[in-house]
Amino acid sequence: MIKTKVTEMLGCKYPIIAGTMARISNPEFVAAASNAGACAVLASANYTSPDELRMAIKKTQSLTDQPFAVNINLFPAMMPQEKLVKYVEATLDEGVKIIETSGHKAPEDLAPKFKEGGTIWIHKCAGVRYALKGASLGADMITVVGYENGGATGTLDIGTLVMTPSVVDALDVPVIAGGGISDGRGIAAVLALGAEGVIMGTRMMATQECPIHDSLKQAFIQAAETDTSLVMRSIRNTHRVWSNKAAQQIIELEAQKASLQEIVKAASGQNAEKMYKEGDIDAGMVSCGQGVGLIKDIPTIEQLLDRMMNEAEEVISKLQKIST
Ligand SMILES: Cc1cc2nc3c(=O)[nH]c(=O)nc-3n(C[C@H](O)[C@H](O)[C@H](O)COP(=O)(O)O)c2cc1C
C-alpha cells in the first residue's frame, strides 16, 4: 500500500485526485471515484447558483462517506468574483473539508476564508511562479499540471517531467502533480519526481461511471497521443483538447483572427454537453490530454484505480531490484 502526505492529509485510500471536469464531475461521478479510493473533485462551475451547488454537495455527501473536494474555478470567464465568494460560502456551510481552486492567479481575497472555514486548500496551477504564490497565501497543497494535460495548460508549456521536480524543490507544502498520467507507470514516475500524489482527468473519462456518451469513450480508446491540439491561445486561455472537428473549427477561427465572441461561442460548454449526451463526437470541444494515447479500455473506476495502484507498486519494487 502506498501512503503519502496526500493520503494522510486528505484521508483517501490512494494518492490520486480525480481531477474536476466541467459538466462531468457531478455528484454520482465524484462519489464513485471517491468510493473507489481517489479524492474526487466536484465541479462547482457546473451549477448556476450557490443553492444548486449546495444541493449537489448534499447529494454527493449522501452517496459517499469518503473524502471529496469542491473545485472553485478562478478563470474570470467562468464566474464573476462576487459569485465566487457565494460559492465558497456555500461550500464551507455544507461542511466540505477540501477546497480546490484552479487558475493562475491565486485568490488572495478568498485565502482567509479557506483558513477560517478550517478546510484543506489545494491550489491548482501550471508553473513554479503560480505555485509559489499559492503557497505564500497559505495553500495547504499545490497541484501542478504539465503541458501534456487535458484542459487549461497555461502559457509556460513546461512538461510534467520538469514541472513536477521544479515545483517540489520550490515549495515546502506537499505537491500533487499530473498531466499525462494514464497508468501505474505514470503514478510511480510522478511519485519518483517528489510529488505526494497525482491528478488525473483524461483517463477518468474512459470509465464506466463517467457521464459521457459511450461513443466518445470508444473514440478515446482509438485515439493516439498525437490526437490532441492546443486551442484558444489567441485569447489567452490555452486548452489542450481532443482533435475533432470542433477543435479544428476553433483553430481555423484563430488563424483568421476571429473575435473573442466567435471563439468563445465555438468553444462553448453547451456544444460539449450536446456531445456528452447525444454522442455526436464532433459536436463540441472536449478537453483531453496526451495521455489519451495510453487508454485501451473502459473499466469501472474501482477496477482502474486498483489496477493503476498495483502497477505503480510493481514498478516501484522492480526499480528497487535493479538498484544494486
Ligand atoms: C474533460 C475535462 C474537463 C476539465 N475541466 C476542468 C475544469 O472545469 N476545471 C479545472 O480546473 N480543470 C479541469 N480539467 C483538468 C483536470 O481537472 C486535470 O487537472 C487534468 O485533466 C489532468 O491532466 P490529464 O488530463 O492529463 O490527466 C478538465 C479536464 C478534462 C479532461
Whether 219 and 212 have beta carbons less than 8 Å apart is answered as no
Compute the average pLDDT of residues 320-324: 88
CA-proximal residue: ligand 1, atom 30 (nearest): 287
Start-to-end C-alpha separation, the chain: 24
* CA 47 to each of CA 54, 72, 73, 83: distance values in angstroms, whole numbers, following the listed order: 9, 11, 12, 11
Strand order in the sheet with 228-231: 151-152, 239-242, 228-231
Pocket test for ligand 1, best of 287, 288, 294, 308 (most atoms within 8 A of CB): 287
* CA 125 to each of CA 48, 122, 131, 188, 274: distance values in angstroms, whole numbers, following the listed order: 24, 10, 6, 21, 28
Confidence (pLDDT) at 77:
63
Q: What is the pLDDT of residues 1-12, one digit of tens each?
A: 999 999 999 999
Q: What is the pLDDT of residues 127-169, one digit of tens each?
A: 999 999 999 999 999 999 999 999 999 999 999 999 999 999 9
Name 283's Cβ contacts closer than 8 Å, sequence gap at least 6. 246, 271, 272, 274, 275
Confidence tier at 82 by pLDDT (50, 70, 90): confident
Name 126's Cβ contacts closer than 8 Å, sequence gap at least 6. 104, 144, 145, 146, 147, 149, 152, 153, 154, 156, 158, 163
Pairing of strands 239-242, 151-152: antiparallel
Atom of ligand 1 nearest to the CA of 22: 8
d(CA 181, CA 53): 29
CA-proximal residue: ligand 1, atom 4 (nearest): 21
CA-proximal residue: ligand 1, atom 28 (nearest): 21
CATH class of 5-209+300-322: alpha beta
d(CA 128, CA 143): 11
Mean pLDDT taken over the chain:
95
Tell me the sheet residues that pair with 152. 239
Compute the average pLDDT of residues 172-200: 98
CA-proximal residue: ligand 1, atom 19 (nearest): 19
CA-proximal residue: ligand 1, atom 13 (nearest): 21
Confidence (pLDDT) at 323:
85
Q: Is 124 helix (H, G, I), strand (E, B) or coil?
A: strand
Please tell me the distance between residue 154's alpha carbon and the centre of ligand 1 in angstroms: 12
Please tell me the distance between residue 179's alpha carbon and the centre of ligand 1 in angstroms: 9
d(CA 317, CA 22): 37
104 pLDDT more than 80? no
List residues near ligand 1 (CB under 6 A). 19-22, 24, 43, 45, 71, 73, 102, 124, 145, 148-151, 178-181, 199-203, 286-289, 291
As to burial, measured by CB atoms within 10 angstroms (0-12 exposed, 13-18 middle, 19+ buried), residue 224 is exposed
Please tell me the distance between residue 185's alpha carbon and the centre of ligand 1 in angstroms: 20
44 pLDDT more than 90? yes
Please tell me the distance between residue 201's alpha carbon and the centre of ligand 1 in angstroms: 5
Atom of ligand 1 nearest to the CA of 20: 17
Whether 64 and 40 have beta carbons less than 8 Å apart is answered as no
Q: What is the pLDDT of residues 255-312, one digit of tens each?
A: 999 999 999 999 988 899 999 999 999 999 999 999 999 999 999 999 999 999 999 9
| pLDDT over 90 percentage in the chain | 92
Please tell me the distance between residue 226's alpha carbon and the centre of ligand 1 in angstroms: 18
Q: What is the pLDDT of residues 216-247, one digit of tens each?
A: 999 999 999 999 999 999 998 999 999 999 99
Pocket test for ligand 1, best of 21, 100, 101 (most atoms within 8 A of CB): 21
Confidence (pLDDT) at 269:
87
Whether 226 and 46 have beta carbons less than 8 Å apart is answered as no
Confidence (pLDDT) at 324:
77
Confidence tier at 211 by pLDDT (50, 70, 90): very high
Q: Structural domain boundaries of the chain?
A: 5-209+300-322, 214-291
Please tell me the distance between residue 114's alpha carbon and the centre of ligand 1 in angstroms: 22
This prediction has a pTM of 0.97
Confidence (pLDDT) at 78:
62
| Comparison of pLDDT for 78 and 308, the residue scoring more | 308
Helices (H), the chain: 5-10, 27-35, 50-63, 81-93, 111-116, 128-136, 160-170, 184-192, 202-205, 214-222, 245-255, 260-266, 269-278, 301-322
